Structures are given as C-alpha cells and as structure tokens.
Amino acid sequence: MSRKFLESDVLSAARLVFPFLLLATAVSAFATTFPVTLTASDGQQVTLTHQPQRVVLQDGRDILALALLDRDDPFKRLVAWNNLLKKSDRPTWELMAKKWPEAEKIVDMGFSDKGDVNLESVVALHPDLMIAQLRAKPALIQSGVLDKMHQLGIPVLFIDTFRDPVRDTPKSITQLGIVLDREWEARAYTDFYQRHYQAILSATRRVTPKPRVFIEAKAGLGGLESCCFTHANVGWGAMVEAVGAKNIGTGLLPGATGDISLEKVISLKPDVYIVSGSQWASKNNAAIPFGYNVTQDQVNAAFDKMRHRPGFSQISAISNNRFYGLYHNFYNHPYNIVGLEYLAKFIYPQQFATLDPANTWKEIVTRFTEVPLGEGVLGAQAPAK
C-alpha cells in the first residue's frame, strides 16, 4: 500500500471526524462545574453542590422547559410534581405520557399557588432540588414549605415565565441549563428565542400610535355570561406590551389580575380584542378550545357563540372584525415566543402578514425537544361576521 494512499485515507477520516470533535468541544465548553451558585428570579442566591437527580416541580407546565434540556426524557429526574398539564392541556399531557409512560407513576403532589401540599410526603422522596414559579413564592412562604426546604438543605430555584415573561423566560431556561448541566441545550433555545423576539421588535418599534389592546384571559371558562377577566402588567398584559402595544388592563387594575366590566370595555373602544382559551375540564367551559386535537371548524363555532354574548358586539374591535384568540397557556409558558408572535400578527396584521407562529411552534417542538408533535389550532382570527 502506497504512502500516498495512506495519507489520503487519513485526511478523509479527519474530515469526517473533525466536525464531531468541534461539536464535542462546544458541548464540553458549556459543562457546569459543581458546586455552582447563581441568582434566581427572586433575587436570592442558590447553591447546588452536585447535579440534581431528584427534582420536585411546583408547576407542571414547566415540564416543557425540562423538555428543552433533558430532551431524551424530561421526566427522568422528577420525583414529584403538580401535573397541571393534565388539568389544563390534556392532549399535550397524553402525547407526553404515551412517549414516556413512566411519567404516569410520578407522584402528583399538587403544589398549588396557594401552597397546598403534603410536605412530609415530599420530604420522604428525598429531593435534591425544587423548581418553582416565582408567583408561588408568597404561598410557599406562608405555608412553611420554603422554610422546611431550607432547613433540610434542599435548594429551591425560582424561575419566572409570568411576572416578566419576555425578560425572565430566557433567563430561567439559562439557569435551568446551568443547574441541570444542560447549558448547551439552553443556549440553543434562548438564541432562537431572542432572534424571533428581536424580529418582532424591529417591525413594531416605530409604529405609532400604539394599538390599544384588551385581552380577556380564560374567556368563557365559567360560561359565556361573565366578562371580562384580564391581566395588568404581568402574563398576557406584559406580553401585549412586549410587542409594543398598549395593554388596557394595565391602567385599570389595582393588582396583577382582575375583572373589568363589559360596559367599561365598551367605553374604552379597544382597537384589538383578544381572548385566550383552552380545553379545560369544566362542565361550564365555553372557551375557544385552542390546543391539539381541535379543528378550525370547532374554533370558529366557539368564536361565533362568544361573539353573541349580550352586549359584546358593542365593543369597537368586535364590530370592526379585530377579534382574535389564542392558546391560554402561552401566558405562562417556556415557549411563549409563539404567543408573542401570535399577538404581533393579530395586533399588526400589515407588518406580519407572512409570519407563521404555528410554524415557530412546530420548529421548537421538533428541533429542540423529543416531545411528539400533535395537530390542532393554537391561534386564530374570528371569522368575519
């Protein structure tokens, strides 16, 4: 065998191996060195001495954040959680449970935002990390859960996708990536998130005057008679303002959320009216059933019923066919960039005529997770009257 052939063979092999070496080097550069200390969303420092393997999840919707990081199995570290997906988005839960059947066996402890939980049962599971939403901290303090965790030396990491969703969602994913030693995966998603958000800002920052938006959260959950629950400068309200519009609820509510009368909404003449809906397990639920396993015809029929609420047609945005709806859980969701894109498309139809938020959702699920992708409707404009 000639030397020339050997050198050619070696060079060919090098060309094949080199990209993998680069990837391995890039991944290793993001590896977490324990112990690690970071400042959580509540401003408090949290120290972890080792990579956690027994995790308690206070808000079960954050399993979709773990799906970005522990992509092969987002449930593999969980010992207890609050399975909110089963209550608020059963189709997504069923897809995940079919993919990872062991998830059905994980203890569902509740962990409501009121702090209700059997603390002794949680401690008996020997967790080495609790992940909780920042909005639940007051209840966890009042119920004694947080104090007990501190006494036992169990770190509690507060993340946030509700109070300041656009700033804190990427930050929270980054921190989870550090804590779980999945920094490379976290960086891949947060880079994607920021690129998509900056594209929204570049198209809306010069629009004047700012469109005035009223967003009715959980519209129809208790039936069609009640109206109108909304968010101030948190959740949906913060997301409306993050895309450059004016959230009407921010200037009216004394707290984070609350009800505004239909008569008041009519008098304010919003430019755009948006409702959030989901497939809640409630006998009185008349919300727009956004999510998986839903057809556009079902969504349109629900829009039609909502449009015929007494007095509803007197709202300027409704009469002007500026009536829209989207999947409720985006208000507190690690993939809320999709919700932001829907808001941008609804509020600024000319600037975002070609934007396809549903495709962004598909890209997140298929590119950054191993979660099965379902079919359904996540957002839509109400059919013209």
Instruction: Give domain status of residue 216, yes or no.
Output: yes
Q: Is-contact 334 66, C-beta < 8 A?
A: no
- 374 in the same domain as 234: yes
Task: Tell me the CA distances in angstroms from 250 to 164, 234, 236, 255, one per residue in order.
Answer: 14, 9, 10, 9
Instruction: Give domain status of residue 105, yes or no.
Output: yes
Which one, of 175, 113, 163, 173, lies nearest residue 332 by Cα?
Answer: 163
- 315 in the same domain as 215: yes
- 245 in the same domain as 162: no
- 239 in the same domain as 125: no
The predicted pLDDT at position 30 comes to: 72
209 upstream amide cis, omega within 30 of 0: yes
Instruction: Give domain status of residue 302, yes or no.
Output: yes
Which helix (H) or strand (E) element contains residue 213? strand 212-216
CA distance 311 to 364: 40
The CATH number assigned to the domain holding 345 equals 3.40.50.1980
The predicted pLDDT at position 15 comes to: 53
In eight-state DSSP terms, residue 101 is: G
Which one, of 159, 176, 158, lies nearest residue 68 by Cα?
Answer: 176
- 277 in the same domain as 132: no
CA 293, distance to chain mean position in Å, is 19
Q: What is the 3-state secondary structure (H, E, C) of 118-167?
A: CHHHHHCCCCCEEEEEHHHHHHHHHCCHHHHHHHCCCCEEEECCCCCHHH
- 220 in the same domain as 127: no
Domain extent for 147 = 36-181
Instruction: Give domain status of residue 204, yes or no.
Output: no
CA 354, distance to chain mean position in Å, is 23
CA atoms within a 13 Å half-sphere pointing along the CA-CB vector of 183: 13
Number of compact structural domains in the chain: 2
Instruction: Give domain status of residue 12, yes or no.
Output: no
Task: Go through 326-360 and write b for each residue having 16 or more CB atoms within 10 A of its CB, e for each that does not.
Answer: bbbbbbbbbbbbbbbbbbbbbbbeebbeebebbeb
The predicted pLDDT at position 16 comes to: 52
CA distance 209 to 118: 51
The predicted pLDDT at position 18 comes to: 54
The predicted pLDDT at position 12 comes to: 52
Instruction: Give domain status of residue 260, yes or no.
Output: yes
- 126 in the same domain as 42: yes
The predicted pLDDT at position 143 comes to: 84
CA distance 79 to 108: 9
The predicted pLDDT at position 366 comes to: 98
Instruction: Give domain status of residue 114, yes or no.
Output: yes
- 255 in the same domain as 141: no
Instruction: Give domain status of residue 233, yes or no.
Output: yes
Task: Go through 78-92 and write b for each residue having 16 or more CB atoms within 10 A of its CB, e for each that does not.
Answer: bbbbbbbbbbbbbbb
Encode the chain (385 residues) as per-residue pLDDT tens digits.
444 444 455 445 445 555 554 444 545 557 899 999 999 999 999 999 999 999 999 999 999 999 999 999 999 999 999 998 888 889 999 999 999 999 999 999 877 666 667 778 888 899 999 999 999 999 889 888 899 899 999 999 999 999 999 999 999 999 999 999 999 999 999 999 999 999 999 999 989 999 999 999 999 998 998 899 999 999 999 999 999 999 999 989 999 999 999 999 999 999 999 999 999 878 888 999 999 999 999 999 999 999 999 999 999 999 999 999 999 999 999 999 999 999 999 999 999 999 999 999 999 999 999 999 999 999 999 999 7
- 229 in the same domain as 343: yes
The strand pairing partners of 19, in sequence order, are none
- 116 in the same domain as 236: no
- 319 in the same domain as 215: yes
Q: What is the pTM of this model?
A: 0.91
- 157 in the same domain as 71: yes
Q: Is-contact 371 365, C-beta < 8 A?
A: yes
In eight-state DSSP terms, residue 31 is: P
155 upstream amide cis, omega within 30 of 0: no
